[in-house]
Amino acid sequence: MNIGILGYGTVGRNVHKLLGAVDGVSVKYVLEQRGKLTESFMTPDPELILSDPDIELIVDALPGIHPSYEYMKEALSHGKHVVSSNKAAICFGFTELHELAKENHVSLLYEASCGGGIPIIEEILRIGALDDISRVSGILNGTSNYMLWQMDKAGMSYEDALRDAQRLGYAEADPTADVSGFDVKNKIIILSSLAFDGYVEKDIPMIGIEAITKEMMDGLRAQQKAVKLMGIAVKEGDRYALAVTPVIVSSLSLEANVPLNFNIVSFEGNYVGEVKLYGQGAGGDPTADAVVRDILKVARGDAACYERHFTKTLAYDPSLLRGRCHVGDRVLEDAVLAEASAQAIREQVPFAFEFNA
């Protein structure tokens, strides 16, 4: 199978490297910027790749929504399978891209878009084929987890921790998406749509880690607690709620002990109970591994088991997410997260959420 790779940054370059050890998949072209064309297989012309009838699958390893979204649409319309690591573009065009893939009888796979190398989507789809999944939550951003970990355990400043995460290849091209919660928002929207088998609301509460201080972490440690940036999605019947927020957890929890760039995702099925998956959520090799696993699903004819048809009509009900809300210095017991976090934004004070005991 001939493939084309769009983008040669941390992900694209590592996908190319890993494919060197895979039989039956050959990289015909890589899309690269005009000033960086160092190899004969590189081209600055997306049309050469997207309209080449020899290319059966496109890997989208570009950052940001545009032009990734337009390239994926064009590839699917030309009957090419698409494998993407780009959560921003997948989330942006979620409905349209899935409909195009269905119309053109091709696969749209994006395991690498959520949780780096962790096979989250694979497991959600496998378990969701039998179980009713009522909750998905977790630490879904390696950069912010790395920063919180280094601030808490190594006494690093916010700025030094961010610089380190960028140097290690964890952060987005614009790291605002990592620290503001926007990256987690894309991921929890993708994961909950798959878990709940329906398209979900995109305008959801979102608070990042910008207001978290060393002093706050020290205070929590004294109470055997820690703070983690998490995406949360819950469903009851056909109603659901989602949010991205700093969450205060017990220091004995698995979440509190997730180090560095690692991610953890939990979900709950009615038969299987709670499942937790843990691994590296950012970085070139883990993310490329997830991309190549998706390419192999297509190459081996297994991809259909990993597609969702979003058959359920769901109703967004933010009141489903309630708990202890920390709004500045005040603690609101059993409050609705959406309302309390909006209040914190209005008052420009820090916000954190704790699940009801």
E strand map for 19-80: 26-31, 42-43, 55-60
Q: Is 262 in the site for ligand HSE (CB under 6 A)?
A: no
Helix (H/G/I), strand (E/B), else coil: 266:
strand
Q: Which of 12, 63, 281, 284 binds ligand HSE (CB under 6 A)?
A: 281
187 is an active site residue: yes
Q: Is 178 in the site for ligand HSE (CB under 6 A)?
A: yes
115 versus 269: smaller Cβ distance to ligand HSE = 115
* # of chain residues touching ligand HSE (CB under 6 A): 11
Q: Cβ–Cβ contacts within 10 Å for residue 73, how many?
A: 18
Indicate which residue of 73, 80, 185, 187 is catalytic.
187
Q: Classify the C-alpha dihedral 175-177-178-183 as positive or negative.
A: negative
Minimum gap (Å) between residue 168 Cβ and ligand HSE: 10
Q: Using the rule CB under 6 A, give the single segment among 164-172, 197-205, 297-305, 306-314 that binds ligand HSE.
A: 164-172
Q: Is 142 in the site for ligand HSE (CB under 6 A)?
A: yes
Query: What phi and psi, each to the nearest 5 degrees, are found at residue 176?
Result: -55, -40
Minimum gap (Å) between residue 209 Cβ and ligand HSE: 12
Q: Is 170 in the site for ligand HSE (CB under 6 A)?
A: yes
Q: Which of 143, 266, 280, 341 binds ligand HSE (CB under 6 A)?
A: 143
Buried b (16+ CB within 10 A) or exposed e, 143-182: bbbbbbbbbbeeebebeebbebbeebbbbbeebebbbbbb
Q: Cβ–Cβ contacts within 10 Å for residue 199, how many?
A: 16
DSSP letter (8 states) at residue 73? H
Minimum gap (Å) between residue 281 Cβ and ligand HSE: 5
Integer angstrom CA distances of residue 140 from 28, 182, 263 = 33, 11, 5
One character per residue 97-116, x = contact with ligand HSE (rule: CB under 6 A): -------------------x
By the criterion CB under 6 A, which residues form the site for ligand HSE?
A: 116, 141-143, 170-172, 178, 183, 281-282
- Residues carrying an active site annotation: 187
